[in-house]
Structure 1
């Protein structure tokens, strides 16, 4: 009789263990399914957030570029002015003399020296000049090689300047091949000498294109 009770007890025990194991597996499977669903949602949200951040970064870069679009940086302009007005007159005189281009005061949006003045350094600080329209800047940049005492460049960010410096060896290489090559913002543009087709060598960059078809027409340059 005792043996029968023991056998029955062992059977009940085994059955309970089996049910407990099945219950654990069922609970674990249910939890994992819910976790998978949540993880899928989290991953999808992260993807959407990443896209939004990338779009915001492109927009910020676009507006930063737009802000600099009418600017030039002048090097070598003697630092003798006492005010922004004097600085404007000095620059106007040189541009008129060397390029025969008239710069009216109302065409200058802002003008100032870059960096802190160092008494022990006789080298004049660069000048940032921002025009109210792009036409005046374009005229000056188109004829900048005729400037005698000063040197003029575009107003680029540090990141773009670093990219342009990185592309200089390839620019030189393409020109040595006889190709027409030049830098456009942070890209190397190459026109092969044996054809009219323009070949663009685009480097990886966070900069947005000003001609991005997704940009609204009113924002394109």
Structure 2
């Protein structure tokens, strides 16, 4: 085996140069390590800040969730209260309608002995006593009830309806104008039998300007007017129909 030449051995200069290069590389590595350490610190700091943000977001989310739950609970409570209020309002409406019906019925009962006499002339400065005298004379002369029967009738109250109107009218006034000038008379009979005796003789007014009708509360009177239109239609169709109080009967 051939021996190594002395020229193949590294010289001191080569060794120094090599060590210098290694030292430079070590220094570069050290700088890189320092940069990595700095970056790791930044990453650690960022991670800590990120955790703080997540904790804050989690707390904020929980608070919002609690608030939403409380609002939903309140909304549910309000819905329940509104539904209860609607039911109470509906009950009050039914009670009001029932009370209105009861009041109307009581009014009807209080008017049970009443009759309204229409288009009877009204005199100047007419007093209630004069109104009663005019009505009694009208019942005798126009309804053909005997004077003895009329004198025996007890009338609880007789009065004109509504505000007194201007009675001055010239000749040639129309029948409608005359009707408007004379307020109707309301008479409350003490006995229902007397009222029916007078009402039964109202057929004697046929063809005249006068009329006699029962008195009803406004609501019942309005309903009766609608029902009488139906009665007319049913009679034209050949059927028997009549109205009793506020009910239509058809046979």
Q: Rate the CA distance shift 1:6–1:103 in 2: closer, same or farther, 3 A.
A: same
1:175-206 deviation line (CA, Å, top 9, x unaligned):
12222112323433222xxxxxxxxxxxxxxx
1:115-144 deviation line (CA, Å, top 9, x unaligned):
414222455432111111222112221231
Partner of 1:73, secondary structure, is strand
1:136-155 deviation line (CA, Å, top 9, x unaligned):
11222123102476421112
Name the structure 2 match of 1:135: 193
Distance 2:83 2:225 in 1: 43
- Pair 1:60 & 2:103 matched: yes
Give 2:85's match in structure 1, choosing from 39, 42, 62.
42
Name the structure 2 match of 1:111: 158
- Please state how far the C-alpha of 1:80 moved relative to its aligned partner: 4.7
- Please state how far the C-alpha of 1:64 moved relative to its aligned partner: 2.0
Partner of 1:99, secondary structure, is coil
Partner of 2:150, secondary structure, is coil
Name the structure 1 match of 2:135: 91
Q: Rate the CA distance shift 1:87–1:3 in 2: closer, same or farther, 3 A.
A: closer
TM-score by length of 1: 0.71
Moved more, 142-151 or 125-134: 142-151
Distance 2:200 2:55 in 1: 96
Partner of 2:213, secondary structure, is strand
TM-score by length of 2: 0.64
Name the structure 2 match of 1:73: 116
Distance 1:52 1:169 in 2: 31
Distance 1:103 1:61 in 2: 31
Name the structure 2 match of 1:218: none
Distance 1:127 1:57 in 2: 27
Distance 2:91 2:236 in 1: 46
Unaligned runs of 5+ in 2: 1-43, 170-177
- Please state how far the C-alpha of 1:10 moved relative to its aligned partner: 3.0
Distance 2:116 2:134 in 1: 15
- Please state how far the C-alpha of 1:92 moved relative to its aligned partner: 2.8
Larger of the two Rg values belongs to structure: 2
- Pair 1:146 & 2:204 matched: yes
RMSD, matched Cα: 2.8
Higher strand fraction (1 or 2) = 1
8 Å CA contact retained: 1:99, 1:147: no
- Please state how far the C-alpha of 1:108 moved relative to its aligned partner: 0.2
Superposed, 1:1-221 pairs within 5 Å as 1-80=44-123, 83-96=127-140, 98-100=144-146, 102-104=149-151, 107-115=154-162, 116-121=164-169, 124-147=182-205, 150-191=210-251
Distance 2:235 2:137 in 1: 35
